[in-house]
Amino acid sequence: PEDDGSSYVFAHLTMQEHGAGRHLLLQPGAVRAVMERRADDRWREPISLGLGVAQRLHPMLADCIDRIFAELIDPDEGGRPKARVRWYRDLILAAELGNERDWDLLRALINVDRLQRDLKKGLVTLLADPSQPLPTPDRVRAGFLLGDLGDPRFPVTVDDWRCELARAGQPGSYFCRVEPGSYLVGSTDADPDARDNEKPQHTITLDQPLYIARYPITNAQWQAWVDLAKGQSSYAADDANLNRPNQPVVSITWHMANAFCAWLSEQIGVTIRLPSEQEWEAAARGGDAHRYPWGDDWHDDHAASAEDRETRGWQWSVPVGCYPAGVAPCGALDMVGNVWEWTASVWQSYPGAEKAFTDDNRRVLRGGGYSRKRTIVRCGARAWDHPDVRGNDGGFRVVVSPRLAH
């Protein structure tokens, strides 16, 4: 008590939040009470702590817990669709509460499989929304939460890869179709950021459709190779900043990337390989010679780069596909930003360059990484490294062969 004993304060905020949460979850109408308060940040911790109390009293409150999760995940409320931002924030809250209360422990009380299935569908919708109604930090949070649940957007098992191969080029499939035809590669003097090694701009031809992965290869996909075929672990496998399941795998050499492709090709009976840099740029630009996959004007919230490193709330690579507004014409995501991508190409000058060069000991990387500025995170920007070198912002994506573009 303070003063005359008529007023009390809590010794610690957590005690107050625990008491408030307990009262909230144990009162009649608890589900409605939670839904009325879920948008108020002051109630965020009490709701989580209250669910913890409810777990311990599970015979009586299992239905209440189930209904809270179900109503958060449901895109409708009161018979009407929720506003998109409200639904997306509810999905994030449901995923965070599930992690905090431990999905495995909740499994004894409620139908976790059903809830997680619907939750994953919702989070996939959130991340695919090209209007990006949530700010970047929230999309990144949603991406990490989806990774914790088991991100369904990319193939992991050999059977998954076979299924995606059969769907190649279909709407929403993992392999995006790049149409055969002529494509501009390289930069002109009109691009103020263009370097000499990007010139002259020239035309390449794809004689056949090209199917390129929608995302860079992730840690989960890489780990499947490590587990099934004793492949080599990424050098960042123990780095908590870089090793989440749906972050791009990084700290791998060019040789390691090719070894993964060779193994996968053997498993599914089709040649999977690194793209040439010409194929990569054709996929990134599409039929127009834009500086970025989305056009000629830079937008901080279209790619994970140095330009949004502070605002996105995360200093490292992000889960794949968190920037849907940055989509390439073919449907591929993260073509610029997030991680550099190994290609099959030897480092050499373009046809007609003022200073010709070839270096068989270097390989081309494309796309720019999470720590690079907009001057580098462009469709035309080129970089190189030795094939036995690995960096913490370097990964790769794959294509289904035909022969390399010319």
Query: What's the pLDDT score for residue 405?
Result: 47
- pLDDT, residue 50, reads 79
Q: What is the pLDDT of residues 17-39, one digit of tens each?
A: 666 667 677 788 888 988 888 99
- Residue at 386 is within a domain: yes
Same domain, 52 and 97: yes
| pLDDT at residue 45, rounded to an integer | 85
* Residue 196, SS3 per DSSP: helix
Closest C-alpha among 126, 121, 43, 31 to residue 77: 31
The predicted model gives 52-58 an average pLDDT of 73
Tell whether the model's pLDDT for residue 124 goes beyond 60: yes
Last residue of a domain, one of 107, 128, 149: 128
Coil, strand or helix at 86: helix
pLDDT at 163: 97
Same domain (yes/no): 274, 357: yes
Q: Are residues 54 and 187 in the same domain?
A: no
**Residues 306, 203 share a domain:** yes
Structure tokens at 330: 């073919």
Domain check: are 102 and 169 in the same one?
no
Is the pLDDT higher at 157 or at 404?
Answer: 157
Residue 307 lies in a domain: yes
Residue 12 has pLDDT above 50, yes or no: yes
What are 337's strand-pairing partners? none
**Residue 314 confidence (pLDDT) above 90:** no
User: Checking DSSP bridges between strand 210-213 and strand 394-395, what pairing results, if any?
Assistant: unpaired
The answer on 33 and 162 residing in a single domain is no
Q: CA–CA separation, 79 vs 103, rounded Å?
A: 28
Whole-Å CA distances, 384 to 83, 133, 316? 46, 36, 21
Same domain, 83 and 169: no
Total count of domains within the chain: 2
How far is residue 326's CA from residue 300's CA, in Å, rounded to a whole number?
10
Judge whether 271 and 400 are in contact, CB under 8 Å. Answer: yes
What average pLDDT score do residues 53-62 get? 75
Which residues, listed in sequence order, are joined to residue 342 by a DSSP beta bridge?
365
Residue 15 has pLDDT above 70, yes or no: no
Token code pair at residue 91: 């999905």
pLDDT reported for residue 1: 47
Residues 48 and 188 occupy one common structural domain: no
Do 118 and 218 fall within a single domain? no
Which H or E element spans position 63?
Answer: helix 58-73
Boundaries of domain holding 291: 158-400
Give the residue carrying structure tokens 């996968």: 264
Domain presence at residue 7: no
With pLDDT > 90 as the criterion, what percentage of the chain qualifies? Answer: 80
Please enumerate in sequence order all residues whose Cβ is within 8 A of that of 122, keeping only pairs 6 or more positions apart, or say none: 73, 75, 87, 88, 91
Strands 202-206 and 399-400: unpaired
295-310 per-position pLDDT tens digit = 999 999 999 999 998 8
pLDDT at 406 over 50: no
Q: What is the DSSP letter of 382?
A: E
Phi, psi of 360, deg, nearest 5? -65, -10
User: pLDDT class for 14, splitting at 50, 70, 90?
Assistant: low
Is the CB of residue 89 less than 8 Å from the CB of residue 138?
A: yes
| 209-243 burial: b if 16+ Cβ within 10 Å, else e | ebbbbbbbbbbbbbbbbeeeeebbbbbbeeeeebb
Angle, CA 221 vertex, CA 218 and CA 224 arms, to 5°: 145
What CATH number is associated with residue 391? 3.90.1580.10
% of the chain with per-residue pLDDT over 70: 93
Residues 255 and 383 in one domain: yes
> Is 138 a domain residue?
no
Give the position of tokens 């179709």: 177
**CA–CA gap between residue 90 and residue 65 (Å, rounded):** 15
Q: Are residues 214 and 353 in the same domain?
A: yes
**Alpha-carbon distance 117 to 160, whole Å?**
17
What per-residue confidence (pLDDT) applies to 24? 75
Q: Are residues 217 and 352 in the same domain?
A: yes
In a domain, 357, yes or no: yes
| Window from 41-45, 221-225, 287-291 with minimum mean pLDDT | 41-45
The per-residue pLDDT of the chain, averaged, comes to 92
| pLDDT beyond 60 at 2 | no
In the predicted structure, residue 336 carries a pLDDT above the cut 90? yes
- Does 146 reside within a domain? no
For residue 4, being part of any structural domain is answered with no
| Res. 160: pLDDT tops 50 | yes
3-state secondary structure of 21: helix
pLDDT given at position 10? 59
Please indicate, yes or no, if residue 72 is contained in any of the structural domains. Answer: yes
